[in-house]
Structure 1
Amino acid sequence: MVNGCMQVASGGHRKGITAKHTCCAGGTWYVQLEEQDMVKELGVDLLKDVTTCEVPYGGVLLMNNAIPHQSLENRSEIIRWSLDLRWQRPDKDDGFYGLKKSVLMKTSKNPNYKIDWSEMAGINRTKKQMDATGEDNDEFSTEISGPWMQRWEIVHHNRHTETVKPDKSTWHKA
């Protein structure tokens, strides 16, 4: 558990809403869901519903994207690698904010369909994020920001939020 396990709040998706998040957690670019908001808005019981998922090397954790989750701090000297794959309907919003298109993996219309990775692989997502937020296009910059930061009020400012210009009309309403 020292290398940053995933932690989930089972049942936190049952109300069918996304609770209010804040941006940004500590010195990161991640959004954060406060524990008291999970309890109040989603009905999560912090003593019964929160589970730390120790996934062994080569293991897999499958979960609904609406389940509240977080990665715990990596307190080891070893990098924790993970791969986040998301399956969704191609006719629904993919959550990439127009920065790139999702890759269609299969289609019922064509049983011989071949996956085309060229568009995904050919896009410099970092540059597109910087262009979308008006950031300086310094390719060696370690700041990360993007349109997702506009979904909730930015309450913890840091180097990642310096160039974000808040647009209250895009904030999530729980």
Structure 2
Amino acid sequence: MTLELKETRLPGIGVKWTMKTASGSRVTVIQHTDGDREVYVHRRAGDEDPTVVLELHDDESRQIGALLGGAYERPKIVEELEMALGEFQIEWIEVPQGSWADGRSLGECGFRKRTGVTVIAILRDEDSIAGAQPDDVIRVGDTLVVVGKAGQFGGFRAMLANGPPAE
């Protein structure tokens, strides 16, 4: 499921972000220009009145963000996956507008040969591809699920955007 995050500028106030969760709830966050946040949770996306309203100072918001992001306690499944991968990491990288790779197959791009990073899946709204193969074609807006070592992802991102370096 693709999550859509809608951003609305609120002149003189800040920015509002709204998203619908997989369970059908709607969450709205307003970030004020002074850093304070308001969080509104609607049990169902169409509900007018929120079920929960939180008013948070900037430091409280950052603390909750760190908690939700797993900075203090990583879920057991993530720990198990990291142990299985060893020195390898998995990243989700979106194909940017104007990407050199747009319309090219994985084989044509040669990412693994040139960067050491392997594309293992292509996430696409209408037809995601698990177990990506050399003849699978990349499109702008796809999210590539890739495996590699920590220092290899910068080169992969650069190549994805601009093409291979001159040889």
- TM tier, shorter chain? under 0.3
Q: Under a length normalisation based on structure 1, what TM-score does the superposition of the two structures give?
A: 0.24
Task: Indicate the structure whose relative CO is greater, using CA pairs within 8 Å and at least 6 residues apart.
Answer: 1
Larger helix percent: 2
The TM-score normalised by the length of structure 2 is: 0.25
